[in-house]
Amino acid sequence: MSSISTMCYRLLIVPTFLSLFTPPLFAESDPPETFVSLQMENDFFASSGDRYYTHGTQLSVLKREEPPEGLSRLAEWVPFYEQGEQLSLVNYTFGQKIFTPDETEGTSVVEDDRPYAGYLYASVAVLSQISSSDQVDYGNMFDITIGIVGPSAMGEQAQTGFHDLVGIDSPEGWDNQLEDELAIGLSYSRFWRLVRPISQGLELGVAPHMTMVVGNAYTYGAGGVMFRLGDGLKRDLNPPNIRPGFPGLAYFRQGAEPSWYLFLGFETRLIARNIFLDGNTFKDSHSVEKENLVGDMQFGLVYLFDRWRLSFSNMLRTKEFTTQENNTHYGAVNITYGF
């Protein structure tokens, strides 16, 4: 059985924007004001071994509140950002990403393979509903991220520590990782949500999006769409992801009954800068020639009950650099709780 078929099988047996846009948001009880989300992404979930983007952990805390004044003023300078009147959300995030080459047994630089790199970051995002109607809901989000790339990001310690814990060999080439560099990025996303009933208890959802990111870690423009099939689709937009990837939020709408949906999404990115392939900005470092056009396909299952949301997904990413031998393949698990 292929790895994709295996993942589909796993998802089927494992029995966020949101209803941002459809007041009243909560009919059964007082709505949660804070949402805590833990996202785990790893190539182990897809049985593809340690290579390329090998691990990501992201903890998010989202609050239903007006944004801090300084952040709100900064968002006003973004040409396309619009502040709506019905609902405002602020999302605080802390995370780590780890990258390794395909060949991890040697101690020397693998010239035609991607560099070792760790990335530790924090971000704050403001999100606002722009318009809500019976036909289409849409909103936008502005995000500022500050992080560190290099040894101070502790990618080596995180990976080798976990490998020692479970008793497996660790990659040997971390001495060749990218050097320390402060990473700053700004991003803007706009997304739409269309939900239509197709039969008793079954709905079809379509959620297009566009994203622009500018910074010394990532600079790219992206566009994509997520298709969903299930019930209760107005309770959220898409499951959360670690960027680059589909926009999704910790926020979701509480419901009196459990709901579920299957999802399938596609995104294309035109990439001008990727420090994890291009290498350090101001220092000499290992680098490879990146692909400027990269595509993602994500599919999976979401289950919502009471104040919980569980998401299981699988990501396929086209080759990110010219000498890459295989596509990037990893899985993700998300758990979110509102209180």
Query: Mind giving me the DSSP string for 185-254?
Result: EEEEEEEEEEEEEEETTEEEEEEEEEEEEEESSEEEEEEEEEEEEES-GGGBSS---PSSS----S----
Percent of the chain scored above 70 by pLDDT?
88
* Per-residue confidence band for 86, with pLDDT thresholds at 50, 70 and 90: low
- For the chain, which residues make up each domain, given as ranges? 3-338
Structure tokens at 149: 């790339």
Residue tagged 């890459």 (tokens): 324
| Identity at 117, one-letter amino acid code | A
Closest to 251 measured CA to CA, from 260, 263, 239: 239
> Following CA atoms 17, 331, 305, 141 in sequence, which dihedral angle do they give, to the nearest 10 degrees?
-10
Average confidence (pLDDT) over 14-24: 37
- pLDDT at residue 331, as a whole number: 93
> Is pLDDT above 80 for 5?
no
Closest to 330 measured CA to CA, from 4, 2, 9, 12: 4
Average confidence (pLDDT) over 34-38: 96
- pLDDT at residue 119, as a whole number: 98
Residue 82 in contact with residue 140, Cβ under 8 Å?
yes
Percent of the chain scored above 90 by pLDDT?
61
Q: What is the value of pTM for the model shown?
A: 0.86
Q: Please provide residue 48's backbone torsions phi and psi, each rounded to the nearest 5 degrees.
A: -110, 0
| Residue 69, H or E segment | helix 69-76
> Is pLDDT above 80 for 134?
no
* Per-residue confidence band for 4, with pLDDT thresholds at 50, 70 and 90: very low
| Residue 95, H or E segment | strand 88-100
Residues 6+ apart with CB under 8 A from 62: 34, 35, 37, 89, 90, 91, 92, 249, 250, 251
d(CA 148, CA 217): 9
Q: In terms of C-beta density within 10 A (0-12 exposed, 13-18 middle, 19 or more buried), how is residue 318 classed?
A: middle
- pLDDT at residue 67, as a whole number: 82
Residue tagged 């709100």 (tokens): 72
Q: CATH class for domain 3-338?
A: mainly beta
Dump pLDDT digits (tens) for 150-186: 999 999 999 988 888 887 888 889 999 999 999 999 9
Dump pLDDT digits (tens) for 95-119: 999 999 998 888 899 899 999 999 9
> Following CA atoms 298, 232, 130, 336 in sequence, which dihedral angle do they give, to the nearest 10 degrees?
-60
